[in-house]
Amino acid sequence: MIVALLNQKGGVGKTTLALHLSGQWAREGKRITLIDADPQGSALDWSQQRTREGLPRLFGVIGLARDTLHREAPELARDADHIVIDGPPRVAGRMRSALLAADLVLIPVQPSPLDGWASAEMLALLAEARIYRPQLLARFVLNRCAARTVIARETAETLADHDPPLMSATIGQRVAFADLAQSGRLVFEADDNSAAAREIAALTAEVGRLAP
């Protein structure tokens, strides 16, 4: 399966979730390649940091910030169980290419009282891609969620009736994600039993159930 983490908004958790989904699958024995489609190269930096820290390689990360992603991703998919694409920024050509490559689009969003979870442009590009690829799956993922706040609940309720629908698994606002990323580590490597690690495992399992 090719999963793309997309949202033209920055800072919503595309890279964080792409790394953790890949890492969780890798520890379950899956062969994963992560494509860093962002010219900023945060996933590539993370991978390099990991090497510097002497940590074992969990999955390969390659940089492919090009509009030809949809041609290269299926080729890479032949040698892997899953491909995870850490999405491009606001460039329509890149976004189109990622949408053409993907089997599943995950749109990380943060709880917000406004209905600005994904840009209208992003949803328009998704609708456009689905004309050609009606089998393309898409889901919102609620990230940085403070479970007991009214905003989180209201966002989840609003997105429940939304198309694309919301994943049941949500990821909390947890400082471990940011802290561990600095040293190239994933939350389950620090504490397998942490809330963050359990949330990632649940999200990964739910993604697995969507597999075509």
Ligand X SMILES: Nc1ncnc2c1ncn2[C@@H]1O[C@H](COP(=O)(O)OP(=O)(O)O)[C@@H](O)[C@H]1O
Q: Tell me which residue has tokens 């050509």.
A: 93
Handedness of CA 114, 169, 172, 20 (dihedral sign): negative
94 near ligand X, rule: CB under 6 A: no
20 lines the binding site for ligand X (CB under 6 A)? no
Binding part of the chain for ligand X, among 10-18, 20-28, 71-79, 115-123 by CB under 6 A, reads 10-18
Say whether residue 47 binds ligand X (CB under 6 A): no
Told to check if 22 binds ligand X by CB under 6 A, we report no
By CB under 6 A, the residues from 23 to 42 that bind ligand X are 42
- Nearer of residues 31 and 48 to ligand X, judged by Cβ: 48
**Which of Mg ion, ligand X, none does residue 11 bind to, with CB < 5 to 8 Å depending on kind?**
ligand X
The closest of 34, 37, 38, 66 to 47, measured between CA atoms, is 34
Tell which residue, 185, 165, 148, 147, has the closest CA to residue 54. Answer: 185
What's the closest the beta carbon of residue 17 comes to Mg ion, in angstroms? 10
**13: contact with ligand X by CB under 6 A:** yes
> By rule CB under 6 A, what count of residues binds ligand X?
16
Cβ closer to ligand X: 78 or 171?
171
Task: Tell me how far apart the alpha carbons of residues 118 and 110 are, in angstroms, rounded to a whole number.
Answer: 10
* Three-state secondary-structure class, residue 141: strand
Q: 112: which residues sit within 8 A by CB, 6+ positions away? A: 151, 155
